[in-house]
Amino acid sequence: FQKSMAGVVAEETGRGTIGVVVLDQQGHLAVGTSTGGKGFERIGRVSDSATPAGNYANSLAAVSCTGIGEDILDEALAARIVVRVTDGLPLAAAFEKSFQEAVTRQRDFGAIGLDHQGAIAWGKTCDVLLAAYWDGTTIGDTLELPAGLQVGSRNPLS
């Protein structure tokens, strides 16, 4: 991040999720999500990051999620978005539909995604989602998004 706000948010909370979605030169997608959780989780609890609900990719799309794990699990958010892309919905539309549904159920989370053509999308229903991207030409981030339901996208082909 090039804006100082990213450091302030990260330092104030002292915790968070690191998610990454990548498309390599051969057209392969990959996703990874690492989180320490919010603390005081029950022993044996499996986080959303370890499941397709919070971290999922196939040959057409990849999505990484952050937020309240139980909300992400209930929505099967990453898998839901990827399945919608697999069924023919553009990535940005899959994010928009999934996040609109989540808002009606008062979910608290965010996600980043990438499709096999290099389209980038992100969304959040919470106050903070820091996401940065590099599409081979442009570096950008989501720091300017206001709180509440927000879905953004960038299509390097347009």
Active site members: 17
What CA–CA distances, in Å, run from 46 to 33, 38, 81? 14, 13, 21
Q: How many CB atoms lie within 10 A of CB 20?
A: 14
The answer to whether 82 and 89 are in contact (CB under 8 A) is no
Q: Give the tokens for residue 89.
A: 């919905």
* Torsion (CA) 1, 33, 109, 14 in degrees, nearest 10: -60
Q: Can you tell me whether residue 114 is helix, strand or coil?
A: strand
Can you say whether residue 40 is alpha, beta or left, with left for phi > 0 and alpha for psi between -120 and 50 degrees? left
Q: How far apart are CA 118 and CA 34, in angstroms?
A: 23
